[in-house]
A and B are shown apart, each in its own frame.
Chain A
C-alpha cells in the first residue's frame, strides 16, 4: 500500500523481545511480548484498514474481543491500548448495525420526552449490566441508560464524557438498545437545551460585530515588522 520501508515495529531492538504465542481469529502466531493487539496484527503481516483509527485510545475504531489463557471469559478492549500476552486470543470486532435515530437537535420541543420516540427501546433495559461489562472506558453504562430514561440528562452527559463510541455496548444488549447512541443524544440535548447560555460569549460576539476593536486592529495591522514585534513583546 505504501512505499515507506522503515517499519516501526521491525526495529532490531524491538525484535529482541521475548516471543509469545497468540491466536488471531483462530490462527496461532508468534509475536513479541508486550506489543499492542494492533501491532500484533501488523507483525503477522495483516494489513489493517478497518479496525485502526487514532491509535491513541480516543476514536473507538479498534474495538476488539479477547480472551486470556485459561480464562473462559471473553473480554473487550481497544486494540491500540491493549498489550498481548502469551496464550491470548483476539478478534477485531466488526461495527454492529446499530440504529441511529435522526433528529434536529435545535428544533426539539421536549427533549426528555422525545427520547422515548427516538429510542423507544431505551426504557426496556433489563438491568443485566452486560453493557457496563463490555465498556473499555469503564463507564457505568447501565446506570447511564437508567438515568437517561429518568430524565437525569446532566448526569448522563458527565458519565459519558469519555465515551469513544466504540459501540461495544450495543451487540451485548438483550433489549436491543444502543446505549452509546442514546447517551450521545442525551448529551447533545443537555448541551443544546438544558445548559445555561454563556452571557460573556454573546457580549463578545456583539463587541466584534459592533466594531469595538476596529481602532486597535487598524493600529496593529498598520505597523511595520519591527513595530509589530516590539508591540507583541509588550503583551504580557
Chain B
C-alpha cells in the first residue's frame, strides 16, 4: 500500500494515544530487550580478530576484515619524502583542525592532510551541541558522573576527567575565535539539557553547532596558512628502527601517485566508520567515514579499545529515499513525539535511552509491525504533527526549522505528516586506545576524536563528541609539537608492514582485502544505461 495511505493510522490513533502513559522498562526487561535486539548483541555479526594487538577480541565482521587487511603498499616502495614536517595531522574535521591549530600556535611546522576537502567530516554535521559544564548548578564532576553512567561505567577515568575539566577553557578559545554560541539575555552561555544528562549542559549554535564551529576552524586553518594536502588519502604509516611512528604515505586521489611525508609526530584524526554500513545499517556519517585510521594504526601495532560497540541513533530517516540515514533530531521525542507502529500503537517510552529505544524499534520491525516503503525499507512512525496538537500550531516550525526545511525540499510537511524512521549507524564508541595526551602505545603516534577509544565507554552521551575532539585535538597538537621540538626525525621504513605481513601469513590471511577502504563502493559496476537520442 502507498505510504501516504499507511500514514492515516497515525492521524486516526493520535487522540487515543495522547491519553496513554507508557512506563519505562524495568531493568530486567531493558536488559532482555537490548540483548535480543540491539545490534551490538547480534553474535552473528561479530567475529574475533585473528591476529595483531587485539588478537581474539571480537568486533563486527566488516571491521575485522579491514583490520586484518593488507596494505596497498609494496615493501620495496621508495620512501624518500616529498615533504618533511614536525607534526603531520591526518584528517580535516574538528579534531584535525584543532590539533593543527594548536601545534602551529606552539611553533611547530605542521602539515594537515585530508582525504577529501578541509572540513569534510562528521563534525560539520553535529546539530545537538557541545557538552560543557558552564551552568552555575553544574560542575565538571557532575559532567564526569553523567558521562560515566551513560558509558555503562566503562569510560577511561583519566581521559574523562581531562575532558570535563578542560571543557570551559575550550569554550573560551572558540568564543575568542568568533564562534557564536547561543546566549541568555544576560550574555551568559545558553545551555540545553541533553539525553542522559542531569543538568543543562549543551552549548549550541542554533541547530548548526558543528557547522558553525567548523566554519570558524577551517577559516582559521587558512588564516594561519597551515600547509594542506587535500584529496590525499593516508594509505600507510611509516616507522623508524624502534617501531616509532615517523611519517605517512598518502595516495593523491587526483593522480593516484604516492605522497610521502616525513614527520616527527603523526596525529590521526580520521573519524569513525559509519560508511562501512556494518550489519547493513544506513548511516548518518559523512562520505569518508570508513575507519581508515583504525587500520593504519592497527598495522603499526596500536591497541584498540571498545571496538565492539557502536551507537545506533534511534531516529534515522527511512523516507524519502534522499534522506535515508539522516538524523531526525532527538528533540522531537523530547518534546513528546510518539513512536508508532504499523498498527497505530506506541511500543516504548520515547524518552528511554538511545540503546533501549533503538532496540524496541528494531523489535517492532522484526516482528512485522513495521511500515515498508516503496523502496523496500522498513521503519516506524514518529508522530511529528502531535507536537502542534499538543503545544499549539506552529510548534514544529518554530522549534525545528532545519528539520522542517530538510523535509520540505521533498514536499513533506512534518507538521502535518508523521515521518518514518529506523535506527541509523551514528558513532563508533571505541577506537584506538590513547593516553591523556592522546598518544597511542606506538610512540609519536597520536589519535584524536572519533578514531580514538576509551573516553566514551560503551555508549556516548549526546554532545560529548564535539568536546572530545576539541580537547584531545588540542592535547595531541600541543604534545606532538613539544615532542617534535626535542627530537630528530626518525628513519622512514616499512618495517612494521613487513612484521604485520609475516603475522598475517602465519594466520593464513588470504582475504584479499586491501585496507584502508578510503571511500565506500557506491559506484554501480553494471554497464550504465546510456540513452541515445
Contacts and interface: CB of A to CB of B under 8 A. Distances in A.
Tell me, yes or no, whether A binds B. Answer: yes
A81 B409 contact: yes
A140 to B, nearest CB: 15
A182 to B, nearest CB: 12
B178 A201 contact: no
Nearest to A11: B376
B67 to A, nearest CB: 13
A190 B178 contact: yes
- Main secondary structure, interface of B, reads loop
B521 A53 contact: no
Interface string A1-43: 1111111111111101101010000011111001110010011
A58 B188 contact: no
A55 B469 CA distance: 21
B183 A42 contact: no
Contacts of B135: 200
A50 B153 CA distance: 42
Contacts of A4: 62, 276-277, 517, 520-521
Interface in A68-113: 80-83, 100, 102-106
A53 B169 contact: no
Nearest to A163: B215
A190 to B, nearest CB: 7
Interface string B477-488: 000000000000
A166 to B, nearest CB: 12
B450 to A, nearest CB: 14
A191 B179 contact: yes
A101 to B, nearest CB: 9
B290 interface: yes
Contact of B175 (A7, A192, A204, A232): A192
A102 B225 CA distance: 9
Contacts of A6: 277, 280
Nearest to B222: A100
Q: How large is the interface on B (under 10, 10 to 19, 20 to 34, 35 or more residues)?
A: 35 or more
Interface string B169-182: 10110011111100
B141 A200 contact: no
A138 B406 CA distance: 12
B320 A217 contact: no
B87 interface: no
B222 to A, nearest CB: 6
B397 to A, nearest CB: 14
A225 B457 CA distance: 14
A54 B426 CA distance: 13
A42 B141 contact: no
B208 A7 contact: no
A189 interface: yes
Interface stretch (B240-248, B345-353, B429-437, B523-531): B523-531
Given A47-B519, A53-B117, A204-B168, 6 more contacts: A1-B517, A19-B529, A59-B125, A59-B286, A198-B183, A220-B144
18 contacts: A1-B521, A3-B513, A4-B517, A7-B524, A28-B532, A49-B231, A53-B287, A83-B322, A100-B222, A102-B225, A188-B177, A191-B175, A191-B177, A201-B168, A201-B188, A205-B169, A216-B141, A232-B148
Interface of A: 1-14, 16-17, 19, 21, 27-31, 34-36, 39, 42-50, 52-59, 61, 80-83, 100, 102-106, 138, 157, 161-165, 184, 187-192, 195-202, 204-205, 208, 213, 216-217, 220-221, 225, 228-229, 231-233, 235-236
The 6 closest A-B pairs by CB, nearest first: A13-B376, A188-B178, A196-B187, A191-B178, A28-B531, A30-B529
